[in-house]
Amino acid sequence: MSFLALVLVNLRRHKVRTLIGVSGIGFGVAAMLTILSIVLGAIAMFERILSNDSQYLVFERDVSDLFFSSVPADIVGTLRALPFVEAAQPVLFGIVSSPGHPIITCFGVEAGDARVARAVWLAGDPAAFGVEPGRVYLGECAAGFLKARVGDSIPIGRETFIVGGVLRSENGFEDGGVFLPLADAQAFFHRDGVSSVVTVKLRDKADGDALKQAVARDFPNLIALENREFSRSYSQFKIMNLTGWAVGICAFLLGGLGVANTMIMSVFGRIREIAVLRACGFSGHQIGTLVLSEAAAVAAAGTLVGFAIGAVALAVLNAAPQLHGYVNAVVQLDVALGIVAVAFVTGLAGAMYPAWFASRIQPSEALRYE
Amino acid sequence: MSERSNPGTGDVRVRNAWKSFDKGRIAVLKGVDLEVRRGEMLALWGASGSGKSTLLHLVGGLDIPDRGEVTVSGIDTATEPARLAIRRFQVGFVFQLHNLIPDLTASENILAPSIASGLPRATARERLGALLEASGLSHRRDHRIQDMSGGERQRTAICRALINKPAVLLADEPTGALDEQTGEVIFGLFREMAKSEGVTVILATHERKFAEGCDRILRMREGSLHEL
C-alpha cells in the first residue's frame, strides 16, 4: 500500500469521471499540438521560401503583409551592381484561383531564380521558362490536384495558361503553388514594374550592414533585413504564432475546467472518506497533496492521450491531398515541452480549489453530519 | 505487537470540557471531567445524542473544546500539530459504520494510516500480518471491502485503528450495526487489546451488556458524565 495506490483508487472508482478529465486535457493537448505544429510549420515553410539561396530580404518599409509590398523593378539592377552582392532576385507573390481551388499561391520569378533553376523538374524544359508566352509552371502537388500535365490548358483566374512544366519542391507552399515568369505575373496581377520582395545573396555575410545602409540611403521607403531578423519582426508571423498559442491555451482552459469539475465532484463526493483519512492521521497538507496528485495523474494520462490524438491528426493532415501540401506540420521539442508544461499547470490549477477545500475539511464536522 | 511507534502513556484526561454547536445554541458537553488510566477499558454509556461521540472526537483530536482542557498521553489537544500527532501516534478510531474505503482491499485499508504516519513499509507489513492473524482475517487480506461481511468489515476497521500501535483506542458504537453474535466477537477483540496490549479503550455504546463488560461505566446524560 502506497500513497500512489490511494491516488489511483479514486481515479479507478469513477472511471467515467476520470475519463472526462483525461479527455479534457487530452483534447487540449491535441488541439494545441495540432494548431501550433501547423502554424509553426507554415511559418517555417514561408521562411524557407523567402530565404531560398539568399540571406537578406528587401521589401517595402512598414508594410503589414509582404503581399502588399511593392519594390520597384529598377532597384534590382542597383542591388546587383553593388560589389558585395552576389545575386538579387525579385519575387512577386500573389494568390490565384482555378475551378475548385480558390486559393493557390503564385510566385512570379525570373528564370534564374533558385526556386525554378534549382528545382527538380519532373516534366518540361527549365530552359524554356519565361521564353514562351502564356505558360504556367506547376508544383508537383499543384499538378496533382489540378490534374494537369505539361501541354494541358488550365484556367487560372480569368485567363487560360498552358502548363509549361512540373517541378518538385520540398517546400509545401511551392509544391502546392504555381510559378509564372515575373513579367507575366506582373501583368496578371496588374502590378507592372514591381515585385513583392527582392531576395539578396551576399558574397560575404559580413557585408550585411553595408547592404542595409545602401538600401536605407538610396531607397528610404524600403528596408533590408537579414532573414532571421525578418522572421522575428514580421508581424504576420507574430500574429500566427500568438494566435496558435492563444487558441491552444483556450482549448486548455476548457480542459482545465473539465479537470476542476472532475476534482470538485470527486472531493464533494467523498467528504466522509476524507474525514476518515484525517481521523487516521492524514494532515490537511497530505489530503491536499492527494487531490493534486490525482489531478497530476489525470494531466499525465491526458497528455499521453493528447499527443497520440495530435500525432494521428497531424499525420492525416500531412497526407490529405485536399490541403495541397500547405500543411507541413513540424513537432518541435520546445513546443512539445511547452504543451506538457501547460497541460500540467492547467490540470493542477483546476485542482487547486478542490485541493484547498479538501485540505480544510474538518473531520469532526464531516463525521457528525453525514 | 509489543512496541508502539511513539509510545505514549495511554492516559486520558479531560478537564471541565464544554462544547456547543450552532453558535452556542446547542450545548452538547457541559463541563465534562474524565480520567482514564492506561490499559483501562471504559464504557461511555448513553442514549443517542447524549454527547458520547463529541467527547470521543475531543479525546481523539478531531475537535477542540470551547472551554476546558483535553490531554492524551500528556499531550494537550489545543493546537492542530498536537492533534495531528495524537491522531497519528496516540489514538486509533473505530466507527459504527466502519468507514472503510470500499475500492481497497482489507490489507490496503488497514495500511492506510501507516502512510499518514510514515511507518516504514516493512514494519507496516509485519504488523499487518500480525493483526490479520489476531483478528482471524488472514484469508481475507486481499478481498475488497464490498465482498466482506459486516463483522469482517468491522474487524478490518479495528485492525486499521491498531496499525500504528496507538496507546488509546476510541470506539464509537462499534457494535451498533452488527448482529449480537458478531458484536460479541468485536467486543472480545477490544477486551483482548486492553488486557494483553495495555491499550486504553474508550467505548461509546448504548448497549448495556457491552458497557457492563468494561472495567468502568460512565453514563452520559444531557452533556454530563455520571458514575454508575
| Secondary structure element (H or E) that encloses residue B92, with its range | strand B91-94
Nearest-CA neighbor of B141 among B128, B157, B127? B128
Residue A364 C-alpha, separation from nearest chain B C-alpha, in angstroms: 5
pLDDT at A368: 72
pLDDT tens digits for range A233-249: 777 778 888 888 888 88
| Secondary structure element (H or E) that encloses residue B225, with its range | strand B224-227
Which grid coordinates belong to A154? 488550365
pLDDT at B159: 92
B228 vs A: CB within 8 A: no
Contact residues on chain A for B104, CB-CB shorter than 8 A: 1, 5, 9
Contact residues on chain A for B121, CB-CB shorter than 8 A: 2
pLDDT tens digits for range A3-22: 888 888 888 888 888 898 89
Contact residues on chain B for A283, CB-CB shorter than 8 A: 84, 116
**Minimal Cα distance from A361: which residue of B?**
B62
- Mean of pLDDT over chain A: 87
Please list, in sequence order, all residues whose beta carbon lies within 8 angstroms of the beta carbon of residue B150, skipping any fewer than 6 positions away.
B177, B178, B179, B182
| Secondary structure element (H or E) that encloses residue A178, with its range | strand A178-181
Low-confidence residues of chain B: pLDDT under 70? 1-7
A277 vs B: CB within 8 A: yes
Contact residues on chain A for B160, CB-CB shorter than 8 A: 280
Long-range contacts made by residues B122-131, C-beta under 8 angstroms, separation at least 24?
A: B124/A1, B124/B163, B127/B1, B127/B163, B127/B165, B128/B159, B128/B163, B130/B1, B131/B1, B131/B159, B131/B162, B131/B163
CB pairs under 8 A between A and B: 71
CB contact under 8 A, B114 and A363: no
CB contact under 8 A, A5 and B104: yes
A133: which DSSP letter? Answer: T
Nearest-CA neighbor of B42 among B168, B222, B181, B186? B168
**Minimal Cα distance from B108: which residue of A?**
A1
Residue A346 C-alpha, separation from nearest chain B C-alpha, in angstroms: 28
pLDDT at A329: 67
User: Cβ(A76)–Cβ(A216) under 8 Å?
Assistant: no
DSSP notation for A294-315: HHHHHHHHHHHHHHHHHHHHHH
Which grid coordinates belong to B206? 448504548
Contact residues on chain B for A367, CB-CB shorter than 8 A: 53, 57, 62, 95
Q: What is the CA radius of gyration of chain B?
A: 17
Instruction: State the best of A17, A270, A364, A369 to mutate against chain B, taking most chain B CBs within 10 Å.
Output: A364
A87: which DSSP letter? Answer: E
Please list, in sequence order, all residues whose beta carbon lies within 8 angstroms of the beta carbon of residue A32, skipping any fewer than 6 positions away.
A245, A247, A248, A249, A251, A252, A306, A310, A339, A342
Task: Output the CA angle B185-B188-B190, nearest 5 degrees.
Answer: 120
pLDDT at A331 exceeding the cut of 70? yes
Residue B45 C-alpha, separation from nearest chain A C-alpha, in angstroms: 18
Query: What is the identity of the amino acid at B5?
Result: S
CA pseudo-torsion sign A225, A229, A231, A237: negative
User: Cβ(A202)–Cβ(A86) under 8 Å?
Assistant: yes
pLDDT tens digits for range B32-66: 999 999 999 999 999 888 899 999 999 999 999 99
CA atoms within 13 A on the CB side of B158: 31
pLDDT at A191 exceeding the cut of 90? yes
User: Cβ(B193)–Cβ(B170) under 8 Å?
Assistant: no
In chain A the first and final C-alpha atoms are separated, in Å, by 27
pLDDT at A248: 80
Q: Could you say which residues from 66 to 125 on chain B have a Cβ atom under 8 Å away from some Cβ of chain A?
A: 84, 87-89, 93, 95, 99, 101, 103-104, 107-108, 111-117, 121, 124
Which grid coordinates belong to A74? 529598377
User: Cβ(A211)–Cβ(A85) under 8 Å?
Assistant: yes
**Minimal Cα distance from A287: which residue of B?**
B116
pLDDT tens digits for range A342-360: 888 888 888 899 999 999 9
Instruction: State the best of A1, A18, A360 to mutate against chain B, taking most chain B CBs within 10 Å.
Output: A1
B190 vs A: CB within 8 A: no
pLDDT bucket at A321, cuts 50 / 70 / 90: low
% of chain A surpassing 90 pLDDT: 42
Residue B209 C-alpha, separation from nearest chain A C-alpha, in angstroms: 25
A2 vs B: CB within 8 A: yes
Helix (H, G, I), strand (E, B) or coil at A38: helix
CB contact under 8 A, A367 and B164: no
Predicted structure pTM score: 0.73
**Helices (H), strands (E): how many in chain B?**
7, 10
Residue B65 C-alpha, separation from nearest chain A C-alpha, in angstroms: 12
CA atoms within 13 A on the CB side of A126: 16
CB contact under 8 A, A281 and B88: yes
CB contact under 8 A, A9 and B53: no
- To 10 degrees, what angle do helices A284-319 and A271-279 make? 130
Lowest mean pLDDT among A110-124, A189-203, B180-194: B180-194
Query: What is the identity of the amino acid at A98?
Result: S
b/e sequence B143-152, b meaning 16+ C-beta within 10 Å? ebbeebeebb
ipTM above 0.90, yes or no: no
Contact residues on chain A for B99, CB-CB shorter than 8 A: 272-273, 276
B89: which DSSP letter? Answer: I
Beta bridge pairs of residue B227: B218
pLDDT tens digits for range A56-89: 989 999 887 888 899 998 899 999 999 999 999 9
pLDDT at A189: 94
What is d(CA A164, CA B209) in angstroms, rounded to the nearest whole number?
A: 106
CB contact under 8 A, B93 and A286: no
Contact residues on chain A for B108, CB-CB shorter than 8 A: 1, 5, 9
Name which of A10, A281, A362 is nearest B116 (Cβ-Cβ): A281
A68: which DSSP letter? Answer: G
Nearest-CA neighbor of A347 among A314, A319, A305, A284? A305
B62 vs A: CB within 8 A: yes
Query: What is the identity of the amino acid at A140?
Result: E
What is d(CA A79, CA A86) in angstroms, rounded to the nearest whole number?
A: 9
